[in-house]
Structure formats: C-alpha cells, structure tokens
Amino acid sequence: MANRLILVDGSSYLFRAYHALPALTNSKGLNTGAAKGVIGMIRRLVADYSGDQVVVIFDAKGPTFRNEIYSEYKANRPPMPDELREQIEPIHQTIRAMGLPLICIGGVEADDVIGTLSVQAAAQQREVVISTGDKDMAQLVNDHVTLINTMNNTTMDHDGVVAKFGVPPKLIIDLLALMGDKVDNIPGVAGVGEKTATALLQNLGGIEDIFSQLEAVPDLPIRGAKSLAAKLANAKSDAELSYELATIKTDCDLGLGDGDLDSSSPDHDALITLFRELEFKTWLDALLQGADGAVLSESSEHDAANVPVSEPARASETVDVSTVLDQAALDAWLERLRGATLFAFDTETTSLDYMAAEVVGVSFAVEAGAAAYVPLAHDYPGAPDQLNKEAVLDALKPLLEDENVAKVGQHLKYDANVLANHGITLRGIHDDTMLESYVLDSAGSRHDLD
C-alpha cells in the first residue's frame, strides 16, 4: 500500500548499531561503525518502502518532562561514549543529504514524537509503520499502526504483540508499570517480574482493576500469590509513577510546518563528500557511478550483472548478514558450518584485554557474501531477546575444536584466548588476515580490516 508513513526510531538505531556492530574507524581515526550501521539500516528501509513517506526521529539533547516527574529516570545509564557521540552529527548530515526529514524535539523523547505522529496519521486513516527495536512502542500498535524490527526483519501487529508479550497493546503500559524497566530506571513493583505481571493482567485486567481487586490476588494461579497482594499494596505509588513514565505521549506540540515531513531529492554532492570523509567506499563508488544515494539498498550496491566484464564483480562487497536470534536459525547455521571445509569466525567482546573480555556475540561465514551474527549479551534500549551464551558456545565447541575444519579470521590469537576462557581450544587455524597483512606490508602502521 503506497503512501504509508514510515517512522524511523533513529535513537534506537543508533544504540543498536553501536552495540551490535564492529567498531570501525577511518584513516583519520574518526569512529564510523555506528554511522555505517545506522545509515545502512535506513537505506535498506527506504528501499523496502519505496514510494512511502519516511521520517527519521532522534532524541534531542537535554532532559525531558519525565525527568521532571522522576529525577531518577534513566539516571542509571552511563554517559554516551565519546566514540559514539562523535558519530551523531555525521549521521544527521547524511540523513539530511539523503533527502529525508529528520526531527528532534526538545523536552520529549523520540518515542513521544513517534507516538504523536502515528496518532495523527492514524486519525487520517493512513497506515503507519514504526521501525524500532524498543518494546515500549508496542503500546502504539492498533489497526493502523504496526512495528518492524530491522534487526530480525519481523513485523508486529496486534496479534504479534499478544504473541510476544502475552497481553494486547492496550495493556503494554500496565505491563511496564508492574515489571518496571531497568534500562530506563522505571521502578515498577518490587518483586514482580514479567511472568507475574503478565499473569496479573491476564486474570484481572489493567493496574486500576488489579488494585481494586487485591483481595482476589491470593487465589490466582500465580506462583507466590499469597504474598503478592501485600507487595502490590505497598508499591501502589511506584506502579502509578511507573505507568506515567512508561506512557508514550501522543499529543506533543511538535511545532512542525507544512512540508517539514516531506522528502526531497538526495544531495549527491553532499553524500559524496560525506562518504569520502567517512570512507564508505562501496557507497561512494555507487554514487560516482550514478546510483541514487537515498534508495540504493545494501544488497544492490554492486550488482554483478551491471559490472563491466573488464571489472570482475567482488562478491565481498555484497554481503547478506543474518542476525541469529532463535534456536531454529542457529541450528540451520550449525548445519552449514558442519558441512563446510572452511569457515570464517570472529568474536565480539567487551574489551581488547582477552583476560577481561566478555563475549557478547559471535559471527561466522561459509562463503563470500553470506554471514551470520549471533548476539549473546547485548544490553541496550530495544535489545531483542537473545540465545543463551553458554549454550551457543557449547554448540560451537565441537566445530571450533575440530582441527579438520579450517578456520580463517582476523587476529585469531585474541579469539583463541577469549575462547579458552570458556573452555574452548581453537584448532584448525588456516589463515589469519592480520598476519597476512603484516607479511605483505611489514612497515605498515595498521593491519586492521578497514
């Protein structure tokens, strides 16, 4: 359906890209990994929703009305890392150069701007798609509004919300009010987790109904029901505060004028300048060859059919990366790895010091242009449910220790040490691209993958 309104939660994209993707820098030392991830996701989204109205929304600097309501709101979050902060302006510049409207409204969060725009569009009977990984957004889903998660390419309508959370969209705020949110420092009811909160809502209704029927709580088929009524009674004010904090505002005064949400033609000159500065070479090459900077998708950047015979197509520039979030997808990739005589492997960790490093993800590939990433311990706003880290490493252990299955990677000595901390002995090392780079250019100052 054409002319849908596509609302992109840019702030969610920013943190997801920073935490989920490898760190990259250009030759001047500017961090570019999150920028590449955010821009890449937006480009793919624009390509997937060609002909629809796309608007990108980011959080503005400074406190919001929620900080006035509760001074401890998000107080547990560490400051934004400098290496991420320095990428925000290049990201904003690139989005504007792509011709997309970029909205930042002070005093409220991106969620509130998205909520307001979605309600306005739905009132006009327009279909709205919200691109986000933030579970809070599920409260906005209705007959006109759906969610899409670009990390696992899933969409969520009313039935999808019920399937994932156990309650319909109208009770998502109540769910958050009861269970709280550690990421945003929303207190919730002490001792009430997601399962208990869901059961309460399924049996009694919203929090107003629950607090008006506390005498019925001890008889519910819920673990710990006998003591639950007292917990709820003692935390009523916390639940009410949490409800207010978790509610996405849908009546913001956005102060937008006519045309502020309209797209414009991409500024190719600006994009070329930005891609040169950021050293996004594949996108730069495509622009110089005349491709449209706004709608070019990741997978179409170098179509082999369009490459002259004199220039062999480079498969490595067209990469299909699968994010593995469930057991079925992991099992499928394990089967591919078992059938391979060689595969590439890498760990994503929290530190360059292998003794202190915690594994937060693993990636592998069995052929050029096709790879998988398995997030294992990512913790950021909107982070998806992930597989158990130890279970995944245990499943990979026989393959990683099989000396008859060749492995390639970058700085595998580091990965071997990290894996050793988990009782895995990496065997079958075939090639290490960092060592090969040194052999080819021993005088070079850098031997990374950039």
Q: Which CATH class is domain 319-440?
A: alpha beta
Scored b (16 or more CB within 10 A) or e, 55-67 reads: bbbbbbeeebebe
Q: Which pLDDT band, with edges at 50, 70 and 90, does 301 fall under?
A: very low
- Is pLDDT of 91 > 50? yes
Residues 203, 354: Cα–Cα separation, whole Å = 49
- How far apart are alpha carbons 341 and 351 in whole angstroms? 30
Which residue, chain included where needed, has tokens 């919730």?
188
The predicted structure's pLDDT at residue 354: 75
pLDDT of residue 322: 85
Q: Tell me the two tokens of residue 194.
A: 């997601």
CATH architecture of 1-190+235-306: 3-Layer(aba) Sandwich (3.40)
Q: Pick left, alpha or beta for residue 99 (phi over 0 → left; psi -120 to 50 → alpha; otherwise beta).
A: left
**pLDDT score recorded for residue 446:** 58
- Res. 257 pLDDT band, cuts 50 70 90: confident
1-190+235-306 and 319-440 agree in CATH topology: no
Q: Residues 6 or more apart from 120 whose CB is under 8 A from it?
A: none
What pLDDT sits at residue 310? 31
Exposed (0-12), middle (13-18) or buried (19+): which is 28, by Cβ within 10 Å? exposed
Rounded Cα distance between 322 and 374, Å, is 8
Q: Residue 60: what pLDDT?
A: 94
Q: Which tokens hold the place of 143?
A: 């007959």
pLDDT in tens, 200-240: 999 999 999 999 999 999 999 998 889 999 999 999 999 99
pLDDT value, residue 294: 55
Q: Where are the domains of the chain?
A: 1-190+235-306, 319-440
Query: What digits encode the pLDDT tens for the residues 100-146?
Result: 999 999 999 999 999 999 999 999 999 999 999 888 999 999 999 99
Q: Is the pLDDT assigned to residue 306 strictly greater than 50?
A: no
Residue with tokens 């071997």: 416
Q: How far apart are CA 113 and CA 404, in angstroms?
A: 55
Q: What is the C-alpha separation between 186 and 177, in angstroms, rounded?
A: 8
Q: What is the overall mean pLDDT for the chain?
A: 87
Contacts of 22 (CB under 8 A, 6+ apart): 33, 348
Q: Give the per-residue pLDDT at 152.
A: 65
**Is the separation of the CB atoms in 285 and 294 below 8 Å?**
no
Of the candidates 149, 157, 130, 111, the one whose C-alpha atom is nearest the C-alpha of residue 52 is 130
Half-sphere exposure of 217 (CA within 13 A, CB side): 24
Query: Which structure tokens are listed for 315?
Result: 């498969």
Lowest mean pLDDT among 153-162, 164-173, 435-444: 435-444
Evaluate whether 56 touches 71 at the Cβ level (below 8 Å): no
3-state DSSP assignment of residue 161? helix
Q: Which tokens sit at 334?
A: 């394990």
CB of 393 closer than 8 Å to CB of 368: no
- Cα(269)–Cα(267) distance, integer angstroms: 6
CA angle 157-164-133, nearest 5°?
Answer: 70
46 with 4: CB under 8 angstroms?
Answer: no
Instruction: Give, in degrees to the nearest 5, the angle at Cα 138 between 140 and 39.
Output: 95
* Residue 299: per-residue pLDDT: 36
Q: Which of 13-17, 169-173, 259-263 has the lowest mean pLDDT?
A: 13-17
